[in-house]
Structure 1
Amino acid sequence: MKKMWAPLVAAAMGWGVACAQTVTLNVASFPDLDRGIKLAIPLYKKLNPNVEIKLTSLAYADHHTAMTTALATGAGLPDVMAIDMGFIGKFAESGGMEDLSKAPYNAGQFRDQVARFTYPLAMSGQGVMVGMPVDIGPGALFYRKDLLDQAGLSEADLTRSWESYIESGKKLKAATGAWLLASAVDIKDIYIRSNLKDGEGIYFNKQGQPTINNARFRKAFELAKAARTAGIDGKISAWSNEWSEGFKRDRIASQMMGAWLAGHLNNWLAPESKGKWRSAQLPGGAYASWGGSFYGIPKKAQNKQAAWDFIKFLTTNKEMQIEAFRGIDAFPSLLAAQNDPFIEQPIEYLGGQKARVLWKEAASRIPAMSVDKFDPVAAEVVNAELEKVLEQNKDIGQALADAQAQVQRRVRR
């Protein structure tokens, strides 16, 4: 460990000497990202003994609600703010975050050192960069190899195409009684994020107009409807108790999410299923980003210099990125960390598969899509309309037209 951190001392000494007085750095985060902060604190303090780091961690939704309120009121703001990809657009447009692309931060110097799709995600429509990427979520398909074997299915049957994926689900259900996926909504969630062109958004175009009533969403709705009609999904929402029980009781045979799901399966969702799960690329040659985390600095933060130094330590230091990769399965945004030999190590939980190599390949092919502050609003509307399609047999064309109109009204652009 001493050898690993030796190269960092010289770079950090300038800050440590300059900071003669003790600085208390307030960091606000959420699980499991907060575990990365906990890993970093003792390592950072060795280099910067005059910096005390106070971590406040709230549940995912509570954290982002609290930070939204703090930005609106200017009260209770931390020095370092963790931001999930799902909220980066909203926070980018809030006007309350420092622009990290400008002096004294000059975050653009690191752009070529991180996954290419991350920087656009952190930008507002006006080009304000509100967060440095710390981890990414290359989309992946996780599946139970033992259940597929029982049904006489192969990985290729799941990944060849979306239609093949759904057909495989029918065979799997007949042979094992297990659902292929927790919810048909999962297909929609992946499909609408897949194979976008650089600069495109999921729900909005560059002019901020909703682009929901189109062929991409129609296909996503059709696939979700086909899965529901085939009876291959459990109608179970992700992160619910029923969802976690589905994994524990061998009721859910596959799950499409970010690569980080492997860690969740191993650590708490289904630790007893070690060796039974595998990872593959998404069906139909799709590549999509599913999650990712950023760190930003509020304009009203008290210790901006110290905050930026700590953020750089978390996001641009190869050793720290690998430490988080090993410790909490956070797939690194830093390319140097992605090229570390650790990528090649087999994952015991996944039957010795070298799955990180697949995730690295997926990360290299994910488009640099844009985000919008109204993405959460659009997602809520789209999910409500899809529910009407799945449960009430609403016409897909009408559902998409209604979703487009509702989003247009709510954003009032």
Structure 2
Amino acid sequence: MKENEKTLTIGLYTSSSWNVPNGHQYKVIDYAIRKFKQEHPNIKIKYESGIQQDDYRNWLSEKIIENKTPDLIIVPNRDFNALASEGAFKNLSSFMWQDNIKNSTFYASTLKAGQYNGQQLALPYEANPTLMVMNKTLLQKFKIKTPSYDWTPQQFYKLCHQVTYSNTKKKYYGVTMNYNWQDAQFAYGAQIFNKNDGNVELTSDRSRRAFALIENIVNDQSTFNVTSQLFDKGRVAFMPLGLAQYRTYTSYPFHITRNNKFLWKCTKMPGMEGIKATPIETTMFAISSKAKNTKGAWEFMKLLCTNKKVQREVMKTNMGCSVLPAVVKSTQAQKILDEKVINFHNLTIKKLDLIMKDGAVLPKFKDYNDNLEKLDYKIQNALNAGNLETQLFNIQLQVNQSETN
């Protein structure tokens, strides 16, 4: 064994990928290292502890500049496009082919999260799908039937409208303000970025319908300030929430301290028939294009991302979701979801599996996140001013011109 194959370096951050309380930052990694050592006793694994998630990108950039990039790198969703476009990662296709790892091993949208320019540059490790949480007690109060799993954006709006107009003093609201224009675009399956050149397209029929949905919700509620705190007080019918946040919210001790006196239920995000409308954040692992121990990095990555026991541990400790359907659909996964939960919140593995299969796939180009931020700023301003419909073409023009300049 060569000298550099005796050590494997990993780039990690300490905190939870999903900003939920997590007292066991390295528990899953340490568990995986112990398993790895049984098969590879000669390889020493090193990682630097204590790097906060907010500082991780800068830390990694410095390592890349110093030519000290770790062999294996954890990659949050939002950093993937930029790093992939800079050639920071190795293509994994030949490794996957050699070890007979099929695409169907993973949920499709989580695997696609690690693709760039037609290459598989990262494998998914952990996912945080968005659920739609509802206040069942409030819906019953207004004699509204809880929506079915496959509800459309039109049905969603109808229910929000009903809640808002069922009370004359506007003390109750349809949905919290974190149901945003991007969620609406997903619901209608609108492609706001052109696949080929990243140009913005806001005026297609689907996009316009999605923007109309958001405008209608905002106009009905006559305030932007429908917060999660109002939901906690029992005054809002619906709230989008990441799975990790949902599991934290509904479990002991957090549920007790939040003092929720109503019944919770969760379902899939609304979407048109045949449209994959669920936003899913995916944390991945990638092998550095300058890795000194590529073989070791691949073996450990494979353990982290495809081993069922490790993936179960991910789900248990990190509050997100496994990226493997085989793990999510297991009876052990149901036990994990039911652990510490206060009163029955009916998140079944069957429902979670359907939600994971509904994952929307985000565009893949270098400046996607920057462009999205610019766009978000302009759209929010137009929404606040109440003239989004008339501003769409102008916003499209401004964003696309700033790209070409």
2:389 to 374, 396, 401: 396
Q: Does 1:223 align with 2:213?
A: yes
Alignment of 1:87 with 2:91, yes or no, is: no
Contact 1:205 1:211 in 2 (8 A): no
Give aligned-pair identity as a percent: 15
Equivalent runs, 1:346-385 vs 2, <5 Å: 347=338, 348-349=341-342, 351-366=344-359, 370-385=363-378
Q: Deviations over 1:58-115 (max 9, x none)?
A: 45443345445655x3556333322222332222212122222235986873312111
TM-score (norm 1): 0.78
State the 1:274 CA deviation. 8.6
Whether 1:340 aligns to 2:330 is: yes
Superposed, 1:194-273 pairs within 5 Å as 194=187, 196=189, 203-231=193-221, 234-235=224-225, 245-246=229-230, 248-250=232-234, 252-266=236-250, 270-272=254-256, 273=260
- What corresponds to 1:11 in structure 2? none
| Per-residue Cα deviation, 1:285-326 (whole angstroms, up to 9, x for no partner) | 563232121111222344333322221111100111112112
Deviations 1:354-399 (Å, cap 9, x if unpaired)? 433212112224455542222212211221122122211224242x
1:148 paired with 2:148, answer no
Counterpart residue number, 1:77: 69
Q: 1:40 aligns with which of 29, 37, 42?
A: 29
Q: 2:56 maps to which residue?
A: 63
Q: Secondary structure at the match of 2:213?
A: helix
Q: For residue 8 of structure 1, what is the aligned residue in structure 2?
A: none
Measure, in 1, the Cα distance between the counterparts of 2:284 and 2:54. 16
Q: Which amino acid aligns with 2:255?
A: P
Cα pair distance change 1:279/1:21, threshold 3 Å: same
Distance of aligned partners of 1:96 and 1:167 in 2 relative to their CA distance in 1, 3 Å threshold = same
For the pair 1:129 / 2:123, whether they are aligned, the reply is no
Aligned residue number for residue 92 of structure 2: 100
Q: Distance in 1 between matches of 2:223 and 2:350?
A: 29
Structure 2's unaligned 5+ residue stretches are: none
Distance 1:109 1:89 in 2: 23
The answer for unaligned runs of 5 or more in structure 1 is 1-16, 237-242
Amino acid at match of 1:282: M
1:216-242 CA-to-partner distances (Å, cap 9, x unmatched) read 332222222211111276536xxxxxx
Higher helix share: 1
**What TM-score, normalized to structure 2?**
0.80
Q: Does the aligned pair in 2 maintain the 1:90–1:373 contact within 8 Å?
A: yes
- Which segment drifts farther, 166-175 or 221-230? 166-175
Residues 170/244 of structure 1: CA separation in 2 closer, same or farther (3 Å cut): closer
Query: In structure 2, which of residues 393, 398, 401 is the aligned counterpart of residue 406 of structure 1?
Result: 398
**Alignment partner, residue 5 of structure 1:** none
Classify the secondary structure of the residue corresponding to 2:164. helix
CA, structure 1 residues 327+395, in 2 after alignment: closer, same or farther (shift >3 Å)? closer
Aligned to 1:316: 306
